[in-house]
Amino acid sequence: SAVISQKPSRDICQRGTSLTIQCQVDSQVTMMFWYRQQPGQSLTLIATANQGSEATYESGFVIDKFPISRPNLTFSTLTVSNMSPEDSSIYLCSGSGASYNEQFFGPGTRLTVL
C-alpha cells in the first residue's frame, strides 16, 4: 500500500488567484490521478499525471485551467488557475501501482473561493 499526503489541507482564496496543491506519495507509484469532488457529489477525474510528460486531461478539463506537474514517481502538483467560486471543491490526489489493482487516495484539499 501507499500513503499519500496533500498540502494544503484546506484554503480560502480570492477569485482570480491561483492555488497549487502538492501531492506526495511515500513510495513510487506508476500512475497518479487528480480528482475533484464537489459538495455532496461523487468524484470526477480531472487528469492523469504522467511522469516527465504532459498530463492527460478528461473531457471538460484543460491544461490552462488545471496545469499539472509530475517530476518524479512520488510527487505531483495541481494548480487551479484564475479561480472562481465554481472551483470551490475538494481536490483529491490518488496513485496506483503497476497492477492498477487499487488506487490509494490522499485526504483531499478543501478549496473555498470567495
Partner 1 sequence: DAKTTQPPSMDCAEGRAANLPCNHSTISGNEYVYWYRQIHSQGPQYIIHGLKNNETNEMASLIITEDRKSSTLILPHATLRDTAVYYCIVRLFNAGNNRKLIWGLGTSLAVNP
Which residues of this protein are in contact with partner 1, per CB under 8 A?
4, 31, 33, 41-45, 48, 58, 92, 94, 96, 99-108
Residue 108 contacts residue 11 (beta carbons within 8 Å): no
CB of 98 to partner 1, least distance (A): 9
Q: Which is nearer to partner 1, 43 or 73 (CB)?
A: 43
CB of 82 to partner 1, least distance (A): 26
Take residue 25 and report the three cell numbers written for it: 506519495
Residue 76 and residue 67: Cα distance in Å, rounded?
Answer: 11
Q: Which is nearer to partner 1, 3 or 18 (CB)?
A: 3
Residue 24 contacts residue 32 (beta carbons within 8 Å): no
